[in-house]
Amino acid sequence: MAFAGGLGARLYLLEVPHDAHANEVATVPGGLAIVLLFAESNTRFLVEVPPDRVGRFEAAMGDVPHAAVGEVIAESNLLVVDVDPMANRHVVEIEVAALKQAWQKPLKW
C-alpha cells in the first residue's frame, strides 16, 4: 500500500481495540494516543483489505480480535487521527517517502 504503491493511510486511534486502563494511561504523557501508538503489545498486524472483500476477511477472522481502523488514501501521507474526535487533529502526519527512507537507512551500508 504505502511503500510499494505510493499511497497513504489514515488511521483512527479511536478504532484500535485495546485493554488499556484509565489509571495506567493517566501516568503516560500524551495519554491513550501514546499508549496505542507505542505500546509493545504482542501480535498487532495492519492488514489492507479491499472494500469488496471486507465481509470475507471478517468471516475468516472469526473470533480473533480485529477492527477496521482506517483507510488507504490517495495522498502519500500517513495520518493518524487522535483518540479524541473533538480535538480534530492528527497525532502523526508524515510523508510516506520519509518513513520509507528511515526504514531503509539501516540497510544502506
pLDDT at 29: 64
In a domain, 29, yes or no: yes
Q: Within a domain: residue 3?
A: no
| Structural domain boundaries enclosing 19 | 8-107
22 assigned to some structural domain? yes
pLDDT tens digits, the chain, 109 residues: what are they? 678 888 999 998 888 887 776 666 666 666 777 777 777 766 778 899 999 999 999 999 999 888 999 999 999 999 998 877 677 788 889 999 999 999 899 988 7
Residue-level pLDDT at 87:
74
pTM over 0.85: no
Residue 16 domain-assigned?
Answer: yes
Beta strands in 1-109 (DSSP E): 8-12, 70-73, 77-81, 90-95
Per-residue model confidence (pLDDT) at position 86: 72
Residue 2 is assigned to a structural domain of this protein: no
Domain count of the chain? Answer: 1
